[in-house]
Structure formats: C-alpha cells, structure tokens
Structure 1
Amino acid sequence: MRRASLNLAFIWHMHQPDYRDSSGVMTMPWVFLHAIKDYYEMPWLLTRFPGLKATFNVTPPLIEQLNLYRDPLANDAFLALWIKPTEQLEEHERAWMVKMCKSTQFETMVRPLPRYAALFHRDDYSHAQLLELQLLFMLAWCGNYLRQHSSVVKKLLAQQDAYSQRDKHALLEELTSFVATILPFYAQLQKSGTIAVSTTPYNHPILPLLLDVGNAKKANPHTTLPANPLSLEGDAVEQVRRAIALYQKTFGTDPVGFWPAEGAVDERSVGIYREHGLKWIATDEEILFRSLKNSAREDLYSPYRFDGVTIGFRDHGLSDLIGFTYRFKPADEAAEHFIRSVGGIASGKAERTVFVILDGENAWEFFENNAYDFFTALYARLKSSDGLQTVTMNEVALQPDQPTLPHLAPGSWIYGNFDTWSGHVEKNRAWELIYQTRRDADHHGGGVDPETAEKIRFHFLAAECSDWFWWYGDDHATDFAEEFDALFRDHLIAIYRLLGMQPPADLFDPIITQKGRDAFLTYPQSAVSPIIDGKESSFFEWLGSGMVDESKGYSTMDRVRGPIEKIHYGHDEEQVYLAFEGDTEMLRTKGCMLVVTIEENGRQAVVPMARTLQDKRLAFAFDERPELALSREGFLGLDVFHLRFEITHGDEIIQTLPGYGSLHIDMNETYAEHWFV
C-alpha cells in the first residue's frame, strides 16, 4: 500500500433486519427497494473513479434476503400483492398497499415524478389510479444505475401514466433479474481490489449484551437492567460462526474483518473475533476516548491494536456530515466542505488514517438524485487530491506500528453506551421475553428432533437482532412500529409452537407504545405573537406553539444530535417565531452562528448568536435561550415554505435542525379546527 500523508477509510454499512416471519416470507419490502436503489449503485459509483477504494459491510440478513428474490412472489408479501390486479385486492390489502406507496420521501423521490406527486395526496383511488401509484412507487425507488442502463425502467419513466398490468410484470422481471447481479458484483470488485467486503455477526445482535447484559451498566451506570438476565454467550459465538460460514459461501473466501452490529464492542467480544480468525473490527470514536485516559482529538487518527485485532475508530463528525448534513447543501459545496475538513486533519503529522463509517443505504433518499451528484463531486475531488488516498480496512489491518490499547471500554456507536437497546422499560421487556423463552426452551426442548432444534435456534438468533430494540422506547419512532414489534414477538411465539407448547399470553400483547411522528413533533394549535427577548417571559406567550423534540429520532439512523434539544415554533399574520432550548450557554461562549435557510428559494440569514439584532427582516435575542422572529414582508416573501437551521462555528457544522428534515410553515393556517366556544 502506497504511503500518503492521509489515508481515508470509508466503511459503507449495508444492512436490513430479517423481515421473514415464522413462515419464511418477508413481510416488508425494504431489502428489495434498497436493492434497486442503493446496493448496486454505491459500489458502482466508486468504480466510475478508478483508483478509489472503500469497504462495504454486507450483513447476513441482507445476503439471505437478497437471495430470496430468485423467487420474489413466493418470498415477499408486498410484491405478491403488488403484482396482483388492483381490482382483486381485499380492502385491507389496498390499505396496506397505499400505506407502503406513500412511505416514500416526498421532496426528493415523489416530487420529481409529476404524476406520482399528483396521486400521492389523494385519499382514495380507482383501480387504474392505484395501479399507477404502485408503478410510480417502484420507479421512484429505481436508482441512477437502473435509470441509465435499463431500457424497461427508462421506457416506463418516460411514459409516466397509462400503465397496464403488463407493465407491472415487465418491471418486476427486470428488477428481480437486476437484484441477482448485486452480490456477484461485490465479489468481483473485491477480487479486483477496488473494495473490501466485511460482514457482521449473523443476525446483527449487540454481541456485548448477549455475552453479559451487565455491559449496559458498565457503559452507563445510571441505566436499568432487565430483570432475571441470562448470559447468551453460546448464541454470541454462534452468531459469529454462522456469519463467517455464510460469507464463505457467498464470496468464496474468509472474511478479514467485521463491523460489529451498531459498533458495539467489549473486551470479550474482541476475543471471540480473534478466535475466529478476524483481523480487524471498527467502532466509534467515543469508545476510544473512554478507553484512553487524557486522550486528545489527534489520537483518533490511527488504527489501534487490542487483543491481536486491529480497531478503527469512526470520526463521528465527518460521518454525520455525510449522513445528516450534506443533503441540505449543493453537491459541489458539500464535497468541498468535506475535503476542507479532511485536509485540516492531514496537517501537522506525517501520516494519519481517518475512518468515515456510516449507513450505506438509508441516507441517500433524503438527497436530491439519490446523492448521485454529491458522490460524483466528492469522488472527483478525492481522485485529484494530493497527499490523500482512499484505503480499504483490509489494507489498514496491515499498517505497521499500530499503537496498543491497554483497555477497551464497552459501548456502541451511539453515545458510547447501550441505551438505544436496553434500559427503557420496553427495551428491557423485550430482553425479559427472550430470557423467559430461553428458560422454557431449555426446560422443555430436550426431546425435539435435530430439524426442529435448528429452527428453534434460528428464531432465537433472529429475535436477538438489534433492530427490534431500536424501535422500542421513546428515542426513535416509525410509522411501521407495529410491524416491527409483531415480527419480534413472532419469533418467540414460533419457538413455543415448535416446542409443542402454548405461547404465553403476554407474547400476543404489543410491547411498543410509540407509534410514529407524533412521538417527537407537536403541531401548532393556535397563532402566537411572543416577545423576542431571549427568555421565557410568560408561560402564555408561547402557548399553542408547535414543538420539535430533538432528543428523539424519526429515522433508521442516529447521530450526535448537538446542543439544541427542542425547537418551539409558531406564527401570526406577520412573523414566524422560533425559540431554541438545550445547552445554549455553549453556543454563546463558543461564538456560534445560526444559519437560517428557506428551502423553496435558497434565501439565508446568518445570525451571530452572541449579538442582539433587530431589523425589518428579522429579530434575534439571546438571554436564557436563543429566540428568533422572521418577518413575512422583509425576509420570507412566501405563504408556505420549509425552514432549515444550522449551528456553525467556522467551517464546523455543529448541528442541523430539525433532525428529521425541514420545518413546514403555512402562513395561511388559521387553526380554525381548534377553535371552541
């Protein structure tokens, strides 16, 4: 490997949970949708710039479900309904089909297809309109590679309407043939040295919690552990063993490294990886800082050795810029910002290695053009940058003179702890159900035949997937929470039935209480006209305002959310009002700027957070908290618009708000439905 002043190691994590129910049928289509949009396209984008390299982490549930699309109608419940003539759908099937077809990101995926946008907000559909909605939904998910190379996709996109059942069949045949090329493409690129392919323990479990759920308390002494825990160390080892076997079968070689699910590590899990021949793993920067005493930021930019395994530590800030911030910037501006940020790391030391690790699929639907423009601009700059080279993690593992860690703190890529998967009453309840099911299986499972025993083992491993725990509790929300909850409990119910036992009644009761966007977003109930003085002068002046709770997430991803925890917002006839709560004192002392952007016209206001401002465009005050008023006449100039906010310090983007996208403002809203007498 050629030596450079800066090595940039990308790891793109490709993962979907196992959507198969107890009958083996996938109950949700996200594997298929990301397959036609992302899984081929991401490595293909890299190949357009010869010499660039990256690591792609492909998880076992994803591999197994991609292989099921050899027979899509037998294995995917959504596609089996999607292909049916719309007049043959039952009412509940139509309702679910409409829900799925409206789950697409509107601004970036629906709006670019005018007919899809016209149909999207309807409440009811004729048979012909529903067929159009179904086809446009699928076409919206087709990525740039398909739009450039598939004659079927290009023809149907140009057609835009008047679709037929024959068009459905032609599109499904084209897409399933395409999906079959994805894993061979990865194998080919790995063989050529363009990419390295890693994987994750079999069902994407939090391995340290399987080994000892007490790791949750070691990472956060204030957390609450589930009752009556069991060590599931045997399952932890089995998760690693099965992942390696599937990798060997898929790619014809042994894996060199793993991205542990959610970057979750502890010392014992590293030992298991070493015992199974793995050379490297990766996790988050917070783990390094907790592991090293008196650590500095510059300590991050090197691989380390622990127990004979190389560990790369993720630069959380750079990774989050790509995953959460650059979607709101023009492609060239975002790419240039990234190169400047990386360039600052390169200065002052002979050689450094920067680890940029993030989800390789879910972020791009929030970018224009599925991030094609961003990656084209970024990769072009990386290709031409002096003193910087992209490397695979397999190459990083060979770097000499890696410093040794004396200790590895337990934790994950989210806040360096395990709170996303344990501690909350719902998360702990899920663990307690696993423990109880394991006790019952150990007590009653001695007489089952080997085939049944294997099915039971599979359902245990599937129930240990991190994704179920992600949606329990109040830290994340999704419109598909009920479906995720049902899938988790279905695995445990299946175990009892395989044992010939009646499942306990509580397995049929939903665990989850948070259902969707309302978990973190409260809409305004009335007009407000507060005084912009930087403090909550009166309870009543913001009464009726809306509120965004940034401490919760509406996403399959997560990030370091930043100092602002809540946004209060509302308007009257003349102005939009905003107030920000959180660690606001840091913003004042650091000399940060607040950048306000109107998405519809690109107009911006840049407000120094240490100053009070008052003009015809805006008013800003910061006493106890930052408060802002934007004038309809002097600045906004629109009736309906979307606002974005950035907290910046120099070139550093500390936080983007709201975390879920943009704040919708309708100046014509009268809130008449909330009036009463």
Structure 2
Amino acid sequence: MADGERLKVILAWHMHQPQYRDLISGEYQLPWVYLHVLKDYVDMAAHLEAHPNARAVVNFAPILLEQIADYAAQVSGFLENSRAIRDDVLCALTQVALPVDPEARLPLIKACLRANETRMIARFPAYQHLAEMARWLIEHPSSSVYLSEQFLVDLVVWHHLAWLGETVRRSDARVRRLIEKAGGYTLHDRRELLTVIGELLAGVIGRYRRLAERGQVELSTTPYAHPILPLLVDLKSAHDAQPDAPLPLLERYPDGVERARWHVRRGIDTFAQHFGFAPTGCWPAEGGVSDAALDLLAESGFRWAATGEGVLRHTLARAGENIHGAKDGWLYRRHATAKGVSAFFRDDGLSDLIGFTYATWHADDAVANLVHHLESIAEHAKDHPERVVSIILDGENAWEHYPENGYYFLNGLYARLAEHPRIRLTTFQDCLGLEPRTLPPLVAGSWVYGTFSTWIGDRDKNRGWDMLTDAARAFQAARSRLKPETLARAEVQLAVCEGSDWFWWFGDYNPAATVSDFERLYRDHLANLYQLIGVEPPDYLSAVFTRGSGMPVHGGTMRPGQPTA
C-alpha cells in the first residue's frame, strides 16, 4: 500500500516539569526533573533509537530544558571540580557522612520512599525490605537514632536505582552490578552510580537532537514557563466553555498580552539554545488555546498547534456542526484557522487508553488492542488520504504504573506500528500539506475536558490567581526603577509564578502531600519576586491557602481528557 493510502498516526509525547529551583538560593526544592530524566526521558529516547523506522513528536517545555542542563552541570561540577550539588536527595549520594540527627534523617527517609510502591519498590526485594523499615521509622521517628549509617546509604542508592530507566538497567553493566550487590554499598559504589546519573543527564538533550536531525522525531515546544496563554491574555476566556465559572477578583491579568508574548518568544529562544534550531510547532501549555493565543503563536512563526478533542467538540457544537457521527469525519483532520496556524486535536479515547487503561494489561494485549482501534479507523478512512489521528499525552508520568516502566508496551508499540502495512507513523510538520478542514472561531479551552476548570474557577485556584495578580501589579509598578540585571531576573521569576502547574494542584480533590509541596513552592516563588523588586511581601504569603484530601487516579499527575462518570 502506498504511503499516501496508509492511515497517518502521530504519537506525541509532552515532557514538562515546573521550576523546582529557588531562583535566589539556587537550591532545588523537589527532585522530579532529574528523576524523570533518569527514568522517562532516557527510556523514551532509547525506544525510538531502537526502532529507527518509528517516528514521533516530542515536546519539551523550555523551563524543563534549563533545569536538565543545570542538573547535568551540577553533577559534572561535583565530579570534576568538587562543587556542591544543590538538590538534597541527589546530594545524599555524594555525602561521606549522612545525617545523624533523627530530625535531619526523617526528610531524607521520606524522600527515598517517593516511588510507585508496586512497580518500583516491591519489584526489588532489597528496596522493599528497606522501605518497610523506613515506614516503621516514620511512625517511630525517635528510633532512627539506633540506625546504622549503612541503612541510609542503601536506601538512597536503591531509590536512585529504582528511578533509572529500564533500558539503562538492561544495558549498563555498572548498574547491573549494583542491583546484584543488593546492599552494603560503599562510597565508591555511590560515586559510580552518580557517574552513571551524570552521563544520562548530560546526554539526554543531545539524544533527542540527533533523533530530530535524522528526521525520526519532530521536536516542538511550549511557551517558556508553561503558562495557560488564553488566561494570561484574558481571564474571562474561561467563560467560553464555562459561562458560570467564578473568576478571580480582577478579571484581567495585568499586561497579560505582553506577558503571554514574552513567554512565547523566550520559549522559542530557549528551545533554540538547546537544540540549535527554532521549532515549527507548539503544544501550548495544557493544550490551552483561544483565537487570541493562536494569534500570538502565529506572529512568532509557529505553523501548528495541538490541543484536546474537547476544544474541537465545543467549537463545532457552538457553530451548529454535527459531532455525533464517527470521529473520522470531524476529528482526524488538519484544521486551518483564521490565524494561519494549523490545529490538530487529540483523540482522547486512544490517548487515555495509553495513559490509564493499558498499564494493567499484558503488553502484547495492550499493543494489539491499540493497533486494532487504529486498523478500524484506517478502514473507515481508506478513501480519505487527508485523515490523521493524533495521540497526545504526558511522556513521563504514565510509565511508572506499567511493568518495567512500559518497556514491553513501548517496544511492542513502535515495532508494530513502524512496520504496519496500513498505518504510517508521522509528525505534525509532515502533515501540514494535508487538505485542511476550516475551523470556526474557537471556544477557548484546554485538553482537560475542553475547559480551563483545572486551573481557574474554584475558590482555591482563584485565590492563587489573586495572589499572582497582586505580584504582577507590584512588578509592573517597580520595573522602571530596577536595574537591567535585576529586571531580567524579576521577569523570569514572575514567569515562573505564571506557570500552570501550581494551579493544577490547588484544590481539595488532589492528594494532601502533593498539594502541600506545590502550594508551598508557589508561595516561595511569589515571595522571591517581591524580594527581587524590593517590595515587602504581603503577610498572606506566610499562610497556607489550599489543602488537599483527595485520591485521584495516578496521584493526580495525569487526568483523562473527558470527564469520567
């Protein structure tokens, strides 16, 4: 079958983390950037390298790229020049003497339990044994004074071994030796593991760049600090999909259009610094789109943007178009917008099968099921060469719920699709020449439910916006008196506060521990902005304003595209 007759399928993986680094002290408050590099970004590159006929789109948030480079420099600086590592968990691998005081030990012990119990801890008997002891100690903290230092050393080493990618565990003899040793790790062992970690951190961006250079991967990006562009431009855009949603006190974000434009331009520049070229396409933060947001992307040279199925549903429904028939008639298309940017829309059902359902299936059955769905679509679309199916999801948080970090599923998926006679893996850029479907004016929304309800519209999220608005107004008032260097630092700090992740976690339906982490970090970032502009922080920043009590699927790091019953 000719390429033009095969069903075009795009696998798009979005990689992002917010700013975990305190931009004044340089210290990292949470370790998720380097841990996801070791486990997910490395594995995702390795699977594509192992299947050179497979293709995919990989989207990197610029603020993530900066943190990856910083971690690589930290490890290199320690190993080559004895410079300090600015992350407490990673630093524990380097310390000759670990904490002795029970109160100092407890945070490290808790941090080393932050891994999927079933897939990452119980898989390794030695780690599981240490974890059982650690949990007992958390309940009886005074007893930790009786622990030997070797317990902490082994717990720290196992935490990092469990967070390594499956492809690394299978290919690196140093890692295999450490796993087989099981315990009694020496300072040499820890330094060897840190060397492995440093190599992975230093090499991961280059691996994706090489995949892009040979045409196997299209690399795309997101506005700099992952803000919801339509909300920066106009908070009232939340009413497009939810007319009755309560809004923050000030219904327009200060200088929002220019702030959104700043994120877009800074994002392009940061991406180009790391990959050597400007991106063609954009996954706007959380797939957040509006006509005004697409206009900003178009003026900066983006040729495509992608978002969720719910946005298209709402848009077509408002225009009076039929969306109740088969998806191939309205979803599986390149859509032309009035702003000159092509739009592609995620198939929520297929994307969520990978994100949630298949984690508990045998890998062969999961691959067969997804391929069967695509074959059915291919049959319906056999006379329509313009059809393209977009499967878009988080490229980092799903895999810890799969056996072996999704190794068998991803290996099987790429192998089957790369050689399938009726399916062709492709990229958004390569689909820009397809005959488009003209898109009516957009109903602004995101990939989650086609609304902005995950980031605005309830008491705690709106309170977060009120605090951000206060800080943005203080910044605008102070900018004329700031020295250029200070102004540049403050502008980046404000951008960090404008990121979407903080608002994702605000609300009682999320887990208490995670809400506490992100709520505290958000207030710290706001306080740092006030510090940089020389304004006393408001007293409310010293008080917790949101707490979690929920138990969402996958801990809340991922959500389905459509509301579940």
Q: TM-score, normalised by structure 1?
A: 0.76
Are 1:26 and 1:75, in contact at CA under 8 Å, matched by a contact in 2? yes
1:450-486 deviations in whole A, cap 9, x for unaligned?
1111111111100011110011012322523222112
1:333-370 deviations in whole A, cap 9, x for unaligned?
11000011111111123232100000001110110011
Deviation at 1:196, TM superposition (A): 0.5
1:207-264 deviations in whole A, cap 9, x for unaligned?
1000000011222112100002333111100000000001111111110001011011
Aligned counterpart, 1:415: 449
Distance 1:160 1:81, change over 3 A: closer
1:295-346 deviations in whole A, cap 9, x for unaligned?
2422111111112111110000000000100011001011000011111111
Letter in 2 for 1:344: S
- Asked if residue 354 in structure 1 is aligned to residue 354 in structure 2, the reply is no
Note the residue ranges of structure 1 that are not aligned, 5 or more in a row. 522-549, 565-677
Aligned counterpart, 1:303: 334
- 1:542-581 equivalence runs, <5 A: 554-560=555-561, 563-564=564-565
Q: Secondary structure at the match of 1:196?
A: strand
- Asked if residue 71 in structure 1 is aligned to residue 74 in structure 2, the reply is yes
Distance 1:414 1:6 in 2: 26
- 1:420-569 equivalence runs, <5 A: 420-477=454-511, 479-514=513-548, 519-520=549-550, 554-560=555-561, 563-564=564-565
Q: Specify which of 314, 318, 335 is matched with residue 350 of structure 2.
A: 318
Q: Give the number of aligned pairs.
A: 530
- 1:260-299 equivalence runs, <5 A: 260-292=284-316, 293-295=321-323, 296=325, 297-298=327-328, 299=330
Aligned counterpart, 1:121: 132
Letter in 2 for 1:370: N
Distance 1:452 1:229, change over 3 A: farther
Are 2:248 and 2:463, in contact at CA under 8 Å, matched by a contact in 1? yes
Aligned counterpart, 1:135: 157
Aligned counterpart, 1:374: 409
Q: Secondary structure at the match of 1:474?
A: coil
Are 1:335 and 1:377, in contact at CA under 8 Å, matched by a contact in 2? yes
1:19-69 deviations in whole A, cap 9, x for unaligned?
011322221111111111111211220222221100000111110000012
Q: Secondary structure at the match of 1:281?
A: strand
Distance 2:52 2:92 in 1: 42
Aligned counterpart, 2:276: 252
Instruction: Report the more deviating stretch, 471-480 or 221-230.
Output: 471-480
Letter in 1 for 2:179: L
Distance 1:438 1:304 in 2: 35
Distance 2:308 2:130 in 1: 43
Deviation at 1:447, TM superposition (A): 1.2
Q: Secondary structure at the match of 2:240?
A: helix
Q: Secondary structure at the match of 2:269?
A: helix
1:416-457 deviations in whole A, cap 9, x for unaligned?
100100011111111101111122222334211111111111
Are 1:364 and 1:370, in contact at CA under 8 Å, matched by a contact in 2? yes
Aligned counterpart, 2:421: 386
**Bigger fraction of residues in helix:** 2
CA RMSD of aligned residues (A): 1.7
- Asked if residue 341 in structure 1 is aligned to residue 344 in structure 2, the reply is no
Q: TM-score, normalised by structure 2?
A: 0.91
Distance 2:530 2:162 in 1: 41
Q: Secondary structure at the match of 1:354?
A: strand
Aligned counterpart, 1:108: 119
Q: Secondary structure at the match of 1:75?
A: coil
Aligned counterpart, 1:238: 262
Are 1:229 and 1:432, in contact at CA under 8 Å, matched by a contact in 2? no
Distance 2:42 2:29 in 1: 23
Are 1:219 and 1:416, in contact at CA under 8 Å, matched by a contact in 2? yes
Distance 1:409 1:262, change over 3 A: same
Q: Specify which of 305, 310, 330 is matched with residue 362 of structure 2.
A: 330
Deviation at 1:561, TM superposition (A): 6.5
1:616-670 deviations in whole A, cap 9, x for unaligned?
xxxxxxxxxxxxxxxxxxxxxxxxxxxxxxxxxxxxxxxxxxxxxxxxxxxxxxx
Letter in 1 for 2:550: F
**Bigger fraction of residues in strand:** 1
Aligned counterpart, 2:5: 4
Aligned counterpart, 1:547: none
Q: Secondary structure at the match of 2:369?
A: helix
Aligned counterpart, 1:223: 245
Are 1:68 and 1:75, in contact at CA under 8 Å, matched by a contact in 2? no
Letter in 1 for 2:20: Y
Are 1:19 and 1:28, in contact at CA under 8 Å, matched by a contact in 2? yes
Distance 1:475 1:24, change over 3 A: same
Aligned counterpart, 1:91: 102
Deviation at 1:161, TM superposition (A): 1.1
Q: Specify which of 171, 177, 188 is matched with residue 210 of structure 2.
A: 188
Are 1:39 and 1:361, in contact at CA under 8 Å, matched by a contact in 2? yes
Distance 1:316 1:498 in 2: 42
Letter in 2 for 1:409: V
Q: Secondary structure at the match of 2:58?
A: strand
Q: Secondary structure at the match of 1:357?
A: strand
Are 2:236 and 2:252, in contact at CA under 8 Å, matched by a contact in 1? no
Are 2:241 and 2:314, in contact at CA under 8 Å, matched by a contact in 1? no
Are 2:211 and 2:217, in contact at CA under 8 Å, matched by a contact in 1? yes
Letter in 2 for 1:313: F
Distance 1:326 1:434, change over 3 A: same
Distance 1:503 1:425 in 2: 22
Instruction: Report the more deviating stretch, 331-340 or 467-476.
Output: 467-476
Instruction: Report the more deviating stretch, 314-323 or 86-95.
Output: 86-95
Q: Secondary structure at the match of 1:71?
A: helix
Instruction: Report the more deviating stretch, 78-87 or 329-338.
Output: 78-87
Letter in 1 for 2:465: W
Letter in 2 for 1:260: P
Q: Secondary structure at the match of 2:415?
A: helix
Q: Secondary structure at the match of 2:208?
A: helix
Distance 1:562 1:204, change over 3 A: closer
